[in-house]
Amino acid sequence: MLRVHDLTRRFGRLTALDRVSFEVAEATIHGLIGPNGSGKTTFFNLATGFLQPNAGKVFWGDREVTGLAPHHISRLGIARTFQNTSNFANLTLRDNLVVASRNRVQTSVLHRMLHLGSARSEEADHGRTADAILERFGIGHLAHTIAADLPGGTQKILGVAIALATGPRLLMLDEPLAGLNPAEKVQLMDILRSIRAEGLTLLLIEHDMKAIMQACDRITVLSYGTLLAEGSPAEISRDPATIKAYLGT
């Protein structure tokens, strides 16, 4: 679904990403891990058009999307969350989701996932989408709370819900579990697994090894901008280079 070939990005004399190639298969949860500074966020920025590569290519299906602007990439069905939450702080949760739904790129995947049929009007459809996602994420009781009044953990869950409401086929999440309490982590990982079960694809940057090992189908390990290892959680957890560079630290 998403494939990068020899992707390279330099900042001055530093090579933040050095000829990295891998692919993310459809309807999987793919983990991107590595120590701080290994190039994970740079990879997200290159794949979503926020940065241009110095060399290498990005493909979305059969189509080359290298160098397309972020709004163009998001219209193809790639949604992204940032480490810091991005919502409209002065709107309620429900209104945040209605706005995201109005900006959605397509409806079919979302409708199938949320078991929604046709609505009376487009605006009614956005409302129903918002309500269904609130329920799905276990935050329906907070529908009319102003986003800024939420605890940090719930704001992160809202960030993922907003990304989902835009109707993507690939969700790229930057440390979705950071700042969540153990119960919220379990809740969010359950949601992500159920999203995958319905055919969406997820690419996660995450430092919580337990969650990564439990939830991912495949894992790519970066170290100093190069691809150190790739494989199933079982393969990665016994890969000597990964243990040395990351898990052992």
Q: Which residues bind ligand ADP (CB under 6 A)?
A: 11, 14, 16, 34, 36-42
- Residue 14 beta carbon to ligand ADP: minimum distance, rounded to whole angstroms: 6
- Residue 240 beta carbon to ligand ADP: minimum distance, rounded to whole angstroms: 21
| CB-CB neighbours of 6 under 10 Å | 13
| CB-CB neighbours of 140 under 10 Å | 14
Task: Please spell the DSSP secondary structure of 130-180, one letter per residue.
Answer: HHHHHHHTT-GGGTTSBGGGS-HHHHHHHHHHHHHHT--SEEEEESTTTT-
Q: Which ranges of 4-145 would DSSP assign to H, the alpha helix? A: 40-47, 70-75, 93-102, 108-114, 122-136
- Residue 226 beta carbon to ligand ADP: minimum distance, rounded to whole angstroms: 11
Asked if residue 175 lies in contact with residue 159, where contact means CB atoms within 8 angstroms, the answer is no
Nearer to ligand ADP, 177 or 191 (CB): 177
Nearer to ligand ADP, 34 or 77 (CB): 34
Nearer to ligand ADP, 37 or 233 (CB): 37
Nearer to ligand ADP, 41 or 85 (CB): 41
- Residue 175 beta carbon to ligand ADP: minimum distance, rounded to whole angstroms: 9
